[in-house]
Amino acid sequence: MRVLVTGGAGFIGSHIVTALAKAGHEPVVLDALLPGAHPVAPEPAAFEFRHADVRDPVSVRAALRGVDAVCHQAAMVGLGKDFADAPEYVSCNDLGTAVLLDAMADLGVRRLVLAGSMVVYGEGRYECPAHGAVRPGARRPEDLAAGRFEPRCPACAAHLSPGLVGEDAPADPRNVYATTKLAQEHLTAAWTRAVGGTAVSLRYHNVYGPGMPRDTPYAGVASLFRSALARGEAPRVFEDGGQRRDFVHVRDVAAANVLALEAVGGLPAGAFTAYNTGSGEPHTVGEMATALARACGGPEPVVTGEFRLGDVRHITADSSRLRGELGWRPEVGFAEGMTEFAGAAQRASAALG
């Protein structure tokens, strides 16, 4: 199968390209090499490479010729620096997706795997002892400033127990990036219905591993901690470090993409399915920082009490649908993955091949 991988020079995209080639497929890479993700040029591509922006209809149509399926990874990621990033997020993520889908419709390419995200849920699943499953609202700045980080029951203010969130949970994006990721899914679902296409969104949880970009305003927390340790500095952990996340290794995410690309052609016309893509091993941010610091032989993390508006407290995945329907099994455990990540070189951009 000939597969166009948008954003294929990036962290996750380059691992997908490698996994596709190992599985016997023919990857084609399209990447704009935006400076925020690629401060320096990537290493020479081992596969067909097109230096182009997914927002450029001419370039996208040229890249799609002869392609059987698309793996759409191109996006601006992270919370960004401030709300001034909003136009660029919407342009890269949503306009880019619309341009790609329009070109696919015109050229008859009907299979798509989308890089989704767990951020579409907002906060994760919570249980109140008195009221059962509840949906806490956004955390108030005054509570965060006072060190009250845990959401409370909106009905009785009781302490809540966090749990696993499933794909059928209502969407509740809490920042611009999250909103653009949800819009990507809505655009994709509309496309499948309009043209009889089939699509899967893999809602990634916290992806980490070799080739992760260095410290940038758009980097994930694992990258920020790893960059600090590489400088000999202690990782700075926000809030009290008790935020629960699901850290999933990039090779497992790449394997999920290969499975989804192979399965999407068998879905009925017009189908769109979302799958949580997490390790199934929730850990706190503080636990991750400590494991990484010890594996690096660096200083212990510093818990700062700082916070970012728009961050959620707990979000961990129920990935049983992906396991049951596509047979995906993550292979890299938390301890093994953090040890490998501690010794892996960080790059300004991941190599192709």
- CA 69 to chain CA mean position, Å: 20
Distance (Å, whole) CA 261 – CA 1: 9
275: tokens are 């799958």
Please say whether the dihedral angle defined by the alpha carbons of residues 161, 163, 166 and 171, taken in this order, is positive or negative: positive
Distance (Å, whole) CA 53 – CA 87: 16
Region for 151 from its dihedrals, namely left if φ exceeds 0, alpha if ψ lies in -120 to 50, beta otherwise:
beta
Contacts of 318 (CB under 8 A, 6+ apart): 164, 165, 166, 167, 276
Mark whether 177 is an active-site residue.
yes
Cβ count near 243 (within 10 Å) = 23
Helices (H), the chain: 11-22, 57-64, 86-89, 96-107, 141-145, 176-195, 221-230, 250-264, 285-296, 320-326, 334-343
Residue 111 Cα distances to 3, 12, 212, angstroms: 10, 20, 28
Q: Which amino acid is at 70?
A: V
Question: Which listed residue (89, 121, 126, 177) is catalytic?
Answer: 177
Q: Which residues have a catalytic role annotated? A: 177
